[in-house]
Chain A
Amino acid sequence: QKEVEQDPGPLSVPEGAIVSLNCTYSNSAFQYFMWYRQYSRKGPELLMYTYSSGNKEDGRFTAQVDKSSKYISLFIRDSQPSDSATYLCAMSASGGSYIPTFGRGTSLIVHP
């Protein structure tokens, strides 16, 4: 079992839909949780990060962490064609080298 699991998709939705992207993980030491957006042939761009459990909102994006279930989510409201990209989750623990573990990414397609 991989430390971080993420469905590669593609996830195809109509414009305006609410999108839910998810990752599960097995390492209970993970404390920091990040979401990156990566457009084709570009570097990942940090969207949001959260610490421990709870929700964090930034515009149309909401990140949610449920440590009891080892499950994190990224919600995108009123999705736009410009949101079409690959979304990577990443998480890091408070000990060791602190290097984040990345999911493989979910490809999202928002069609007009």
Chain B
Amino acid sequence: DGGITQSPKYLFRKEGQNVTLSCEQNLNHDAMYWYRQDPGQGLRLIYYSQIVNDFQKGDIAEGYSVSREKKESFPLTVTSAQKNPTAFYLCASSIRTGSGKNIQYFGAGTRLSVL
């Protein structure tokens, strides 16, 4: 089955700790994205990558880091600099086209809480 796999489903972070959220896709999509979702705030873009070995900051990149060493994988690290990391994190992927069509498909999400 093709899709986007996020792991773990639940994650707990201690003060001062970095944690990494995994995102893997087997849809052969070029672009991948990380969003943060807080109650009542909709989706906020953290980072995105349109090709391997390249990524750009989104609207709320501070306190987060990413890498894109393989087309299938786009892990997100929540660093200790992110002071309010408790949220639902969503990974998405899409095929880029020249026309502007950018239909994103999402993983099931990772819920991060602070201990």
Residues of A at the B interface (CB closer than 8 Å) are 8, 31-32, 34, 36, 41-46, 49, 51, 88, 90, 92-95, 97-100, 102-105
Chain B residues within an 8 Å CB radius of A34:
103-104
CB neighbours (8 Å) of B102 from chain A are 32, 92, 98-100
**Assuming A32-B102, A32-B103, A45-B106, what are 18 further A-B pairs, CB within 8 angstroms?**
A41-B88, A41-B111, A43-B4, A43-B107, A44-B43, A44-B106, A46-B104, A88-B43, A90-B104, A92-B100, A92-B101, A93-B100, A94-B100, A98-B96, A99-B48, A99-B102, A104-B40, A105-B42
Q: State the Cβ distance, A22 to closest chain B Cβ, in Å.
A: 15
Q: How far is the CB of B66 from chain A (nearest CB, A)?
A: 15
List 27 A-B pairs, Cβ < 8 Å: A8-B40, A31-B99, A34-B103, A36-B106, A41-B109, A41-B111, A42-B109, A43-B4, A43-B90, A43-B109, A44-B43, A44-B90, A46-B104, A49-B103, A90-B104, A92-B101, A97-B50, A97-B56, A98-B96, A98-B100, A99-B33, A99-B48, A100-B102, A100-B104, A102-B42, A103-B42, A104-B40
